């Protein structure tokens, strides 16, 4: 009995040490991805400004349709559509984008799946970056929400009044698009990305339907969320390329025993 107990303790300690090493390695990769992200940002060239310029111009063009799109959604009076929008809206709630990456990562941890742990880590990296960018933009832009009834061109810059202002970009939309982009990148299926982006799009629709955001807010949020994840994906790829280039090549010698004469 004592021997069995000792063996059990040794196996448990080895297992906990293994899991501890996995957590440590994941944290190191998390940190190094962000270091590479900052390196990439610091080395931006003029052509790299195309993405943010596209987001700004697209938002300005979409703003011309804000009132029209709002009126269309306000005219919808269908109980089933309302129920669907309630569910879609929940996808972008903080509890969703905080808990879901943890569920994915924990599942990979418990079932010893490196792939799932990596997906969970990238989700966390993307959600963090997107959250920072969205919060900065919301505060600095300070756009009035639709239900304030002051039009789509009223701004209170550098405000913390989230109830009335801080409408652009849509945080719910940016978060679900950020997660959809990571999940699509990690998916081996060509069909699943369609589902991911359809769910993200439904959340954007819900934000307009419940009069929380203008159409241009939602479009900006979708592009910012997608861009955030692409930045993380690019940082991870760049980091891997650097590691692969700096690896010391191993020279292998093979001796053919049969040709050696004694």
- Minimal CA–CA distance to 171: which of 144, 204, 193, 149? 204
Residue ranges of the domains in the chain? 33-237
Q: What is the pLDDT of residue 244?
A: 63
Q: What is the CATH number of domain 33-237?
A: 1.20.144
Q: Pick out the chain residues at pLDDT < 50.
A: 1-18, 247-255, 257, 260-262
Q: What is the pLDDT of residue 19?
A: 53
Q: What is the pLDDT of residue 7?
A: 37
CB neighbour list of residue 75: distance below 8 Å, 6 or more residues apart? none
Q: How far apart are CA 104 and CA 90, in angstroms?
A: 18
Q: What is the pTM of this model?
A: 0.84
With contact defined as beta carbons under 8 Å apart, do 232 and 182 qualify?
Answer: yes
Instruction: Give me the helices (H) in the chain, please.
Output: 2-42, 50-63, 66-74, 79-90, 94-110, 114-141, 171-186, 192-209, 215-246
- Minimal CA–CA distance to 199: which of 114, 96, 129, 76? 96
Q: How far apart are CA 184 and CA 200, in angstroms?
A: 12
Q: What is the pLDDT of residue 17?
A: 46
């Amino acid at each position: 009995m004592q021997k069995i107990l000792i063996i059990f303790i040794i196996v448990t300690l080895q297992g906990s040490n293994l899991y501890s090493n996995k957590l440590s390695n994941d944290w190191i990769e998390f940190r190094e991805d962000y270091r590479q992200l900052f390196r990439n940002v610091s080395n931006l060239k003029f052509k790299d400004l195309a993405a943010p310029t596209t987001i700004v111009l697209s938002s300005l063009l979409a703003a011309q349709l804000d009132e029209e799109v709002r009126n269309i959604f306000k005219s919808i009076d269908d109980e089933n559509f309302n129920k669907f929008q309630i569910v879609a809206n929940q996808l972008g709630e903080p509890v969703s984008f905080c808990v879901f990456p943890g569920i994915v990562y924990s599942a990979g941890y418990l079932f010893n799946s490196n792939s799932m742990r990596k997906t969970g880590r990238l989700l966390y990296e993307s959600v963090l970056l997107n959250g920072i960018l969205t919060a900065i933009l919301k505060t600095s832009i300070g756009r009035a929400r639709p239900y304030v009834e002051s039009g789509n061109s009223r701004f209170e810059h550098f405000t913390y009044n989230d109830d009335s202002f801080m409408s652009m970009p849509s945080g719910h939309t940016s978060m679900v698009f950020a997660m959809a982009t990571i999940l699509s990148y990690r998916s081996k299926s060509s069909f699943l990305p369609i589902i991911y982006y359809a769910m993200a799009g439904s959340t954007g629709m819900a934000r307009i339907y419940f009069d929380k955001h203008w159409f241009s807010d939602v479009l900006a949020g979708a592009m910012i969320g997608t861009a955030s994840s692409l930045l993380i994906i690019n940082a991870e790829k760049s980091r891997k390329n650097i590691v692969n280039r700096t690896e010391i090549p191993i020279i292998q010698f093979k001796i053919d025993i049969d040709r050696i004469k004694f």
